[in-house]
Structure 1
């Protein structure tokens, strides 16, 4: 922490902070500002209310004049470039209907971006669009594609948008933050209001005179059981949408304005207070606890020590640093990276990795491999192993490469063959 002292620290897209890290983050920021003489800037169009959470567990202590922009409400009004169209309907939208809406908007606005919550939904909408219009102007993005693949597709998309050519992109939420694209219309599957606002930021981004249209749809078959953050965010966004429908003046007629976002975060944070302390289960630690406790008073360990010794331990530091480090995950997803043979460079990379005598010495190869890696969940990796679709690059290192038949130029990695085996000339 001391290495970040006497610094200006800028946290961009701070709304993506995992909910369970809220109090750990807040306490760290307070320490850096108050004890380490640092200045912290939190950047986002959808500022989470990190100062309104439990002060006992750690809320950010904002400076008296904390807004860099003097009149935030006026800024939102001045930068309003889209209109939100609530298209929810009873029973929800079929994927084929969403595809047709996207094609209609492509004809009307010249370009359209569809953002859905799952890779399966993205694939089905994409296939529905290409079945009706061909594939020259339709693009697909998801995390089943390696970074090099996504970058190439994004370049094609940007080039077409810059040339004012008809462009339709179907993507998961990966396109919502940090991607500079400007579409004439956006269709967004229902999600948290912060995600909806980020999606709206890809519509009429360059400020054309006529406002862009952001359509909100509720897919009938989108399954979010394994995506609790999206599911819970969606529930509270629906509440704000209903409030807005009954009394738009409460939000000054702006569904993405500061008043609406404040209500959304109040609903969302209130519902998830118990998640903000980074809870850990007995399966992970041997007993139920949380990282906020492990790294502060460590009440459970002190009580156990007293039970065993009959007295309270007199020491300056009671934290369980090793236990906390063991259970903390910066990215909480039990995934395994698989290197994919995307394009000539990807295929050459895989060949060179397999030919390497000692992979631990191949720093440049491993660095390049990050651009050609797709992270998969354990059940997907196991299925790929059973089908002999992956091979370990070096025995015992758990670095895997993918058979080229299991990588699609449209969708990326697949758990079943999607292309014929390449002919090898020896």
Structure 2
């Protein structure tokens, strides 16, 4: 018996054949969700064929006996043998589907330790063929001999390959039905490769994890029973809600429409609901009913800001009373640093209900390496709800649209795009293919009129407001609200939202100083919210504010994290000039429940608020200015309402027209003449370079530059790192993580630590490193923050705090 793994505690050995059988079974199960069960099984059987050698067996036993010696790690190439076997036996053929199937399978296998390789790079070098034809050595022959002995010849393998070829051919018939263009066809081929790669990566890592931990694999849940249970709980809760006010009744109408629409077949749909329309619970009602009817595996909420995860997860958990089946995934807390043990801990998205961010979703589809992509197969046969879809980064739009078309039509996912401000995704160069009768709410214009609770007031001034004049402006509003007879039974409250953390912090500090100078009876409660605070901290502040709103006089200064989906209501909102979609979302935090007949939302411009690096905000500001000026000249064409669907449509028309050239994701310099969409589809630059090098065309079926694209892909313009912070329970979790614990215990600690983590930009990370503010745990695979760099007022702080000894 040749050995694949040795349990470090029991010293029990797992044979290579046992590992291959386990992985092939799981990979087959994951592949079956998209009618690729034979392809999944075949990749699983072959992925670690290279371990069928005496040299690898000796290496495993040596590593088990000498766990601190990492010098041999990675010296034996065991990931190419299975790929070469397929390449040698099936690739060189004139049958295009056989050739394509062989490359798909070989590529997934040979890449499964470091991430998908480039097929062609931008310089035209044929990485795939070079790898298949130059990595052959004596170990391959030995691995193949031993593999044939264990599997009694290779007839079963040949049979699986022929079935796999038929599966791939059927998939491409369906791909051509979505969009017959060559560009989409090549992009979809790349998505198919990533899906298969996801199947084998997750199966491999999960089997290794369960063996090394001595655990049984998680038993599958009876999904139909679960969906029935959750539907009943939600319906009971909804029946108990009051239906007294106009807003209550309008929300109920939206909720019933969602419940009824759940009977429609899977597809790509839009839920356009005015802010405060109750779309979180309405979309959950849709999702549970649809999951029950169409036997779906999972429900995903994809959310632009982590704050909304905090609230939505709490709302959903409070109603369903099943914390065990709900996952909140804010951050990757394990650094993808090639540490084999910690690679086993990356989040799998295997819970029935998953709440995560747009960053994590897009990273799963497009980032390099093996960390994110392992989750992709769990998107199949799911319901994916995009909350606040308007927040998608402009550079990702065409890749997002094509990926969603693939997930819906090939992976049987149901897609719901939720927002009060629907972007025009079906009008772009690579359009989103909405289903027929795509709007869940049909009388959208009428609904927006009925939900009207605020007026937008343009208060821009020449040169913009200074921090001091903003302070005065906010205090004047508070005095005005204090004296307003309409809300005399509820004390005044103002929310001010800014585009940058620095602007928010400066105004907060100015107000704090001014407040301290007021007589005690005239002082306000002043709150600050920032993405530098961990989820648990933000939730605590929001809870405190909700309890005090209406009973005490409150000013809240925040970044845009509060403006989408947070269920909170202020008497007035001040919004720093931004895209009209952001302003509309901010308006949803004002008079949210119709406490007064109509309240004001003021648009202000801020002196010195530096958004030069925040391109989306800067471009949004310019388009908003244009719409505001047109509205001033002729409000009738906008239905006399700056928040009407007509106004929003005009805004997006300008915004998308101005930025259409950016939607393919331009690569960074020096490759900025090329786009990532092209690199992940036809790779025309790589193809042209190959032609020049070789005076002939490449015969590769897949030409994608997966590794180059994955390395360059960033949802936001800087890399972010998830850092665990010592806020309340976070301090204890840091101590537990740093202690002696099994991988299983560590996995549980990391899940809890999601609530005590902050995503740090690369520039901020470097600042903290220079100040000694960060500590690496577990071979630097997990990053934590020193206690003196976290404050109650600001969260993570970059000010030079006194360096105290921390016993981590």
Please, what TM-score do these two structures have when normalized by structure 2? Answer: 0.49
TM-aligned CA deviation for residue 372 of structure 1: 1.9
Which of the numbers 674, 677, 690 marks the counterpart of 1:305? 690
User: What value does the CA root-mean-square deviation take over the aligned residues?
Assistant: 2.6
Aligned to 1:350: 734
2:775 is the alignment partner of 1:403: no
Q: Conserved in 2, the CA contact under 8 Å of 1:408 and 1:419? A: no
Aligned to 1:144: 532
Aligned to 1:29: 404
The DSSP-based 3-state class of the residue aligned with 2:631 is helix
Q: Conserved in 1, the CA contact under 8 Å of 2:524 and 2:553? A: no
Aligned pair in 2 of structure 1 residues 238, 28: CA closer, same or farther (>3 Å)? same
Q: Conserved in 2, the CA contact under 8 Å of 1:404 and 1:422? A: no
Which of the numbers 212, 215, 225 marks the counterpart of 2:599? 212
Q: Conserved in 1, the CA contact under 8 Å of 2:664 and 2:675? A: yes
Aligned pair in 2 of structure 1 residues 305, 179: CA closer, same or farther (>3 Å)? same
TM-aligned CA deviation for residue 121 of structure 1: 0.9
Counterparts in 2 of 1:32-111, with a 5 A limit?
A: 32-35=407-410, 38-54=413-429, 58-109=430-481, 110-111=492-493
TM-aligned CA deviation for residue 20 of structure 1: 1.2
Aligned to 2:215: none
- Unmatched runs of 5 consecutive residues or more in structure 1: none
TM-aligned CA deviation for residue 60 of structure 1: 1.7
Counterparts in 2 of 1:324-339, with a 5 A limit?
A: 324-339=709-724
Which of the numbers 242, 262, 265 marks the counterpart of 2:649? 262
Aligned pair in 2 of structure 1 residues 330, 420: CA closer, same or farther (>3 Å)? closer
Which whole-Å CA distance do the structure 2 matches of 1:62 and 1:391 have between them?
Answer: 47
Aligned to 1:273: 660
Which of the numbers 562, 581, 594 marks the counterpart of 1:175? 562
Aligned pair in 2 of structure 1 residues 366, 69: CA closer, same or farther (>3 Å)? closer
2:555 is the alignment partner of 1:157: no
Which whole-Å CA distance do the structure 2 matches of 1:41 and 1:401 have between them?
Answer: 36
Task: Deviation per CA, 1:66-119: give whole Å up to 9, x if none.
Answer: 322222221111111101111101111111222222233334441111000111
TM-aligned CA deviation for residue 5 of structure 1: 5.3
Which whole-Å CA distance do the structure 1 matches of 2:381 and 2:740 have between them?
Answer: 44
TM-aligned CA deviation for residue 40 of structure 1: 2.8
Aligned to 2:206: none
The DSSP-based 3-state class of the residue aligned with 1:235 is helix
Count of residues paired in the alignment: 416
TM-aligned CA deviation for residue 350 of structure 1: 2.7
Q: Conserved in 2, the CA contact under 8 Å of 1:232 and 1:268? A: yes
The DSSP-based 3-state class of the residue aligned with 2:426 is coil
Aligned pair in 2 of structure 1 residues 24, 91: CA closer, same or farther (>3 Å)? same
Aligned to 2:677: 292
Aligned to 2:345: none
Q: Conserved in 2, the CA contact under 8 Å of 1:93 and 1:217? A: yes
Q: Conserved in 2, the CA contact under 8 Å of 1:138 and 1:167? A: yes
Aligned to 2:216: none
Which whole-Å CA distance do the structure 2 matches of 1:19 and 1:111 have between them?
Answer: 34
TM-aligned CA deviation for residue 195 of structure 1: 0.3
Which whole-Å CA distance do the structure 1 matches of 2:547 and 2:772 have between them?
Answer: 38
Q: Conserved in 2, the CA contact under 8 Å of 1:254 and 1:260? A: yes
Aligned to 2:223: none
Which whole-Å CA distance do the structure 2 matches of 1:131 and 1:210 have between them?
Answer: 34
The DSSP-based 3-state class of the residue aligned with 1:210 is coil
Task: Deviation per CA, 1:264-300: give whole Å up to 9, x if none.
Answer: 11111111112110111245xx674222112222211
Q: Which has the higher helix share?
A: 2
TM-aligned CA deviation for residue 396 of structure 1: 3.6
The DSSP-based 3-state class of the residue aligned with 2:769 is helix
Aligned to 1:16: 391
Which whole-Å CA distance do the structure 2 matches of 1:348 and 1:232 have between them?
Answer: 43
The DSSP-based 3-state class of the residue aligned with 2:425 is coil
Which whole-Å CA distance do the structure 2 matches of 1:322 and 1:390 have between them?
Answer: 30
Which whole-Å CA distance do the structure 1 matches of 2:394 and 2:453 have between them?
Answer: 29
* More displaced stretch, 295-304 vs 386-395: 386-395
Which whole-Å CA distance do the structure 1 matches of 2:620 and 2:576 have between them?
Answer: 12
Q: Conserved in 2, the CA contact under 8 Å of 1:192 and 1:234? A: yes
Aligned to 2:775: 391
TM-aligned CA deviation for residue 338 of structure 1: 3.0
Q: Conserved in 1, the CA contact under 8 Å of 2:456 and 2:603? A: yes
Which whole-Å CA distance do the structure 1 matches of 2:733 and 2:780 have between them?
Answer: 20
Which whole-Å CA distance do the structure 2 matches of 1:14 and 1:205 have between them?
Answer: 20
Aligned pair in 2 of structure 1 residues 390, 323: CA closer, same or farther (>3 Å)? closer
Which whole-Å CA distance do the structure 2 matches of 1:400 and 1:155 have between them?
Answer: 28
2:567 is the alignment partner of 1:195: no
Which whole-Å CA distance do the structure 2 matches of 1:313 and 1:26 have between them?
Answer: 28
Aligned to 1:240: 627
